[in-house]
Amino acid sequence: MISRRRLLCAIPVAAGLAVFASRMSWASMTQAPAYEALQIKLPKNACDCHVHVFDPDRFPYAESRTYTPDKSPVPFLEQHLSRLGMDRVVIVQPSPYGTDNRCLLDALNRMGKQRARGVAVIGQNVTDQALQDMHAAGVRGVRLNLEVKGNADIAQVQQALQSIAKRVQPLDWHIQMYANLDTVKALADTVRNLPVKVVFDHYGHLDAAQGLDQPGYEEMLSLLSEGHVYVKLSALYRVSQKTDYSDVAQYAQSLVSHRADRLLWASDFPHTMPAPGTTRSKDKIELFRREDDGRALNHVAAWIKDPKTLHQILVDNPDRLYWQA
């Protein structure tokens, strides 16, 4: 018989194992189970429009980072794309690298411009030559991440958007924003008047539990309908608390009904969301969230159903935004 003392001692261990089971270290990623088999036949040049590469052994993280992710170098990205059967990919500069885009540019060089495009993060002092060099390497956008540190100052963001737009308009780049719907609502008029396209990450970081009438969603739909923005159908776990993500279906269908030609699909591999209740720190390595990206793609395909619309989202829209620019 197990004593009460031994049982109580075992509870934290079991809880810790449960949390660990939902996380993946760089070493375990090579033995990760295969993704769920796709329920659709992927068309040629299907694109995963939002992934990250982390290679701290070769490219150290920025000292100013708010967290320290584990490793996920280019070979792990190649493995991910092979499991999904994706021909193309868009690599997005992650926040732990700050404005040091060397890891991103190295990944683009190794994968080649026919397969890979990039979204960089730039500082105020970036030179025109540096932007030209990044363009030649395959960069087609600049990311503005307003969610890692939170509490976006709207006036500062407006100024940043206008400044970035002025720099990247000659290159026909877009601005990619990770912002919540409150921020989208506050910035709607600014976005509407920018001379460049804007891409909202991860369903505009909506809250799937709040319903279609949640503040900011109408503004995002208006911007989408008017053709000012693209929206990424990505990272279901960032917007839903349900294990099957079923409450996201109405948003995917709503977005499709407004502008299917302005939607993109993405996995958000290798999934840098911390475990619930975790305080992020740069002093400890944060393991990746375990996600089945085959299942994530199957969810979206089941919600949308129409093969022509899926072709737009997986092939036509990314080709227009990233490869024809």
Tell me the pLDDT tens digit for each residue of 88-138.
Answer: 999 999 999 999 999 999 999 999 999 999 999 999 899 999 999 999 999
Predicted local confidence at residue 33, as pLDDT: 61
Using alpha carbons, list the distances in angstroms from residue 89 to 34, 48, 85, 185: 19, 5, 11, 29
Q: In sequence order, what are the residues at sequence separation of 6 or more whose Cβ sits closer than 8 angstroms to the Cβ of residue 137?
A: 105, 108, 109, 113, 118
**Cα–Cα distance between 6 and 198 in angstroms, integer?**
56
Which of 158, 219, 213, 160 is closest to 185 using CA atoms?
A: 219
Question: Predicted confidence band at 13 (pLDDT cuts at 50, 70, 90)?
Answer: very low
Question: Contact at 8 Å (CB) between 249 and 303?
Answer: yes
Pick the catalytic residue from 268, 283, 293, 316: 268
pLDDT in tens, 139-192: 999 999 886 555 578 999 999 999 999 999 999 999 999 999 999 999 999 999
pLDDT at 12 over 70: no
**Cα–Cα distance between 117 and 71 in angstroms, integer?**
21
Predicted local confidence at residue 148, as pLDDT: 54
Both tokens assigned to 232: 């990424």
Predicted local confidence at residue 273, as pLDDT: 86
What is 43-323's CATH superfamily? Metal-dependent hydrolases (3.20.20.140)
Strands 288-289, 23-24: pairing kind: antiparallel
Question: Predicted confidence band at 31 (pLDDT cuts at 50, 70, 90)?
Answer: low
Question: Contact at 8 Å (CB) between 303 and 246?
Answer: no
The stretch 22-28 carries a mean pLDDT of 65
Q: If 0-12 CB within 10 Å is exposed, 13-18 middle and 19+ buried, where does residue 325 land? A: middle
What is the overall mean pLDDT for the chain?
Answer: 91
**Cα–Cα distance between 158 and 107 in angstroms, integer?**
31
**Cα–Cα distance between 52 and 72 in angstroms, integer?**
8
Amino acid identity of residue 261, one-letter, is D
Domain-by-domain residue ranges, the chain? 43-323
**Cα–Cα distance between 139 and 135 in angstroms, integer?**
5
Predicted local confidence at residue 14, as pLDDT: 44
Dihedrals φ, ψ of 116, to 5°?
Answer: -125, 140
pLDDT at 238 over 90: yes
Dihedrals φ, ψ of 109, to 5°?
Answer: -65, -40
Question: Contact at 8 Å (CB) between 325 and 272?
Answer: no
Question: Predicted confidence band at 21 (pLDDT cuts at 50, 70, 90)?
Answer: low
pLDDT in tens, 204-220: 999 999 999 999 999 99
**Cα–Cα distance between 67 and 63 in angstroms, integer?**
10
DSSP conformational letter for 54: B
H/E element holding 300?
A: helix 293-304
Question: Predicted confidence band at 278 (pLDDT cuts at 50, 70, 90)?
Answer: confident
Q: Whole-model pTM?
A: 0.90
Based on the residue annotation, tell me whether 268 is a catalytic residue of this protein.
yes
